[in-house]
Structure 1
Amino acid sequence: MPDALTREAPRLVSAEVPATLAAALAPAWLTQVLGRTVRSAEAVEVIRTVATKVRFVVTFEDGGQGAYCLKGLLDVDEMTARGGPTCVLEADFYGRLAQFVDCTVPDCIATVIDRERQQAVTVMRDLIVQGAVFCSALDSFSADDALSSLGQIAHLHARSAVLTEFTWIRPRLSQLAEMRYVTPETLQELLDGPRGDGLPRSVRDAPRLIAALKALAARDASRPQFLVHGDAHAGNVFRWNRGMGLIDWQLLQHGGWALDVAYHINAVLPPALAEAEERHLLREYLAMMRGHGLTMPDEDEAWLQYREAAIYGFYLWSITRRVDPPIIVEFVDRLGKAVARHESHALLGL
C-alpha cells in the first residue's frame, strides 16, 4: 500500500444511499453519516446538473452547527440514475485514494456506497464557508491561472505509482472508444447543431472523430499510464488562500498524461491564448513532473502526444447533452479548434 499523506480517510458509512433531496437532508440519515445526533438540516444552495450538489447547514443536538456539501444523484429519472457508477467512482476516490495524492481537494467527511445498486453519495465540508470560490465552467483563465491549475494536475499525476495497488481505476479512454450508445448518427446530429458552428467540416465529421478516438485509445494504452483526472475544465477547479484545487472525480481513470494536459489547457483558455501559450505551459508541466521525480518524454515527443490528445476532450464535449447549452457550445468550439489547429486526426492516421 502506498504511503498516506496527512489527509485522513473519510468514514465509510453503512447506510441507505438516498434517492431524493428530502431523504439526504433527513436528520436521522445525517446522524448516521456524520456520527453525531442531528436535530435539523437546512439547504443553503442546491445545484442540479447530472449529479446534484447540496450545500447545507446542520444543527446538532448539542447546539453546535456544521456546514457541509453533499453530492449524489438525487430526484433523477431512470436514465440519469444509470450514471450511478460515476458517483461510486468519485466516492471511492475520496474514500480510498485521496489520502495518497497531494493535489488540493475538498475535505471529505463520509462516503455512502451501495455497490449492488451502483449508487453513492459523498459528504464533504463546505469549502465556500472556508473562503473557497468555485470557478464556473466558462471562467476566463489567464496563462498564469492555467499554470497554477496545471500544477495541481502535476501533483495528481506525480502519484501515479498508486495504480499498481488501486487496480479498480480503469482506462476510461478505451471504454469511451468502445461505447455503443452514442452512434455515429447521433454524434453527427449533435455536431451538425449549434455546438459545431464555426468548426471546419473535417472536424465535425462524426465517423472520423470516432475513428480518431479509437486510434488515440490504442496509442495511449501502449504508453506509460498516469493517474488522470479526466475532466479538468475550469468548472472543476476552485480557488482559495492555498491556491487552486480540483473537484469532480467522476471520470477518474488511468491513461496518458496528455489526456489531462491537452484537455485542460484548451478548455480553460480561449483558442488564441491557448495557441500563444500552450508550448510554454507544456514545458512548464514537464519540468514540474521531472521535479516530482518522474521520467517524461522529450519536448518533441511530448508535443506530439499533446497534439494527438486534443481529440479526447473534444469527443467528451461533443457527446455531452445534460449540461447548459452555452457551456457545451463554448467547449466544443474551444476544443474543436484545438483539434483543427493541431491536425489531431491526421496525426492519428485519419
Structure 2
Amino acid sequence: MGELGRLAHTEVRFYDELSAGVAGTPQCHGSGFDPLTGRFVLVLEDLAAGPCEFPDTLHPLDKDQAGLVVELLARLHATFWGRLPAWAYSASGDHTSLLTGPLLKLSSRKLAERADIDVACGRFIDEHYRAAARLLDRPPHTVTHGDAHPGNVYFRDGAAGLLDWQALRRGHPGRELAYTLITSMATGDRQAAEHDLLERYRHALAAEGGPDLDADELWQLLDAFGQFEREMFDSGIGRATVGLRGTEKLDAALRFIVSYQQSYSGVRLVDIEPEVVIAQLAHIIPVMRARLQRLLSGPNAAVKAATAIRVAVSHYIVRSDDGDQFLAQLRHAVGIKQPDGS
C-alpha cells in the first residue's frame, strides 16, 4: 500500500525539494529513494536529544497547543499558495483512493463484529467515498501535510513542528484544518475553541503572505457536503419512486427517507458541528416540505407535508434506532394507513 501510494518517494522528495522553505520540520542530513525497489532512507536530526515534547493520539491537545499547530499549518499553506510543485497530487487523485472505499466497508464490518460502535453512521461515506473525496478536494489548493494529527506533531521552543510527510498532497486548506482539529482535540474543547482557532489561522495565513480568506470560506466544505448529501437524497428518492403513483409513490418516498437517514452520516455531523447543520436545516426544511407536498393531495396537504418533515428532522437530529416506528410516524403524519389498518 505504501509503494502504491508513493509514500516513501513523497517524503524523500519533500525533504529534498521543499523542506528548506518550511518552518517546523526536522533538519535532514541525507536521503535516498530507489524507484525499482521502493526502498528509501532518511537521516533526520535527533529531536529526542533536545527539549522536544511529543504528544500522541491518545491524549488530546489543548487549545493553546492546537493554536500552535494551526499557525504552523497557516505558514505551510501560505508558503505554497499559488506555488504548487507539479508532482504534488490531490488525495482524490491518489491511486490508493480506488481502494479506500472497499477498505472502509471492510473495516466497518470488522468493527461491527468486534466493538459496540454504530458503524452504520458512516455508511454514507463508505458507499460514496470517491465522490466525497472529490468534493473535499475542490480548489483553492495549496500544499497540505495530509496527516497532521497529534502523533505527527512535536513542540519545541514554544512552536509546533511536523513529522511524517509521506501523505503530503495538494488540497483545500479547510480539509486539513478539519482533519487536524477533529483528530487533535476532545470534541467539547474543539467545539468551544474552533471559531477562535480558525480566526488564528486566517490571521497567520495572511501574515505569512497567503490570501486574506473570509471566515465563511473555511466553512465551505461543510456547506458543500450539505449540498452533496441533498443531491444524493434527491436522486435516491427519485429512483425509489420511479414508475409509481398515488399512495404507493408517497409510501415509497417515506420508506426511502427512513432508509436514507439510517445509513446517513449527517447525524454524526450534527454531533460535531451542530451550529452549521442547524443553520443548513433552516434552508432545507422548506425545500423538503415543498417536494413532499407535491406527492400529496387534498386541503391539508401542506400541513401533512410540514408535519412529516418535522418528524423526519427530529429523527435526523436525535438518531432513531427503530426504523419501523419512524416509518409509522411518517405514515401517520401524511394519513397513510398502517399495514394492520390502524
Distance 1:292 1:339 in 2: 34
User: Does 1:180 pair with 2:88?
Assistant: no
Task: Specify the SS of the correspondent of 2:37.
Answer: coil
- Once the two structures are TM-superposed, the CA of residue 187 in structure 1 deviates from its matched residue by 3.7
Number of matched pairs: 238
User: Does 1:267 pair with 2:186?
Assistant: no
Distance 2:71 2:90 in 1: 23
Cα 1:204–1:221, aligned 2, differ >3 Å: closer, same or farther?
closer
Distance 1:308 1:246 in 2: 29
- Once the two structures are TM-superposed, the CA of residue 230 in structure 1 deviates from its matched residue by 0.5
Cα 1:133–1:147, aligned 2, differ >3 Å: closer, same or farther?
same
Cα 1:192–1:304, aligned 2, differ >3 Å: closer, same or farther?
farther
2:72 and 2:161 in contact (8 A); partners too = yes
1:238-277 aligned at under 5 Å gives the runs 238-277=154-193
Structure 2 partner of 1:151: 71
User: Does 1:223 pair with 2:144?
Assistant: no
Distance 1:234 1:309 in 2: 26
Distance 1:138 1:96 in 2: 33
Structure 2 partner of 1:171: 90
Deviations 1:153-193 (A, max 9, x none): 111111114744x2111112332784236516414314525
The residue type equivalent to 1:128 in the other structure is A
Cα 1:233–1:222, aligned 2, differ >3 Å: closer, same or farther?
closer
Per the normalisation by structure 2, the TM-score is 0.61
User: Does 1:134 pair with 2:54?
Assistant: yes
Deviations 1:216-273 (A, max 9, x none): 4333444111110000100111112252211110100000001110011111111111
Cα 1:342–1:193, aligned 2, differ >3 Å: closer, same or farther?
farther
1:61-140 aligned at under 5 Å gives the runs 82=3, 85-101=6-22, 103-140=23-60
The residue type equivalent to 1:204 in the other structure is G
Q: Structure 1 stretches of 5 or more lacking a match?
A: 1-79, 311-335
The residue type equivalent to 1:153 in the other structure is L
Task: Specify the SS of the correspondent of 1:98.
Answer: helix
Q: 2:195 aligns with which of 274, 279, 303?
A: 279
The residue type equivalent to 2:272 in the other structure is R
The residue type equivalent to 2:15 in the other structure is Y
Task: Specify the SS of the correspondent of 2:155.
Answer: strand
Distance 2:100 2:68 in 1: 37
Q: Structure 2 stretches of 5 or more lacking a match?
A: 227-266, 285-342
The residue type equivalent to 1:341 in the other structure is I
Task: Specify the SS of the correspondent of 1:123.
Answer: strand
Distance 1:157 1:127 in 2: 24
Distance 2:270 2:115 in 1: 15
Deviations 1:248-306 (A, max 9, x none): 10100000001110011111111111111112211221121122232244222322325
Structure 1 partner of 2:254: none
User: Does 1:236 pair with 2:152?
Assistant: yes
Distance 2:36 2:217 in 1: 43
1:110 and 1:124 in contact (8 A); partners too = yes
Structure 1 partner of 2:216: 300
Structure 2 partner of 1:332: none
2:56 and 2:151 in contact (8 A); partners too = yes
2:91 and 2:133 in contact (8 A); partners too = no
Identity, in percent, stands at 23
- Once the two structures are TM-superposed, the CA of residue 109 in structure 1 deviates from its matched residue by 0.4
Task: Specify the SS of the correspondent of 1:121.
Answer: strand
Distance 1:266 1:204 in 2: 16
Q: What RMSD over aligned residues (CA atoms) do the two structures have, in Å?
A: 3.2
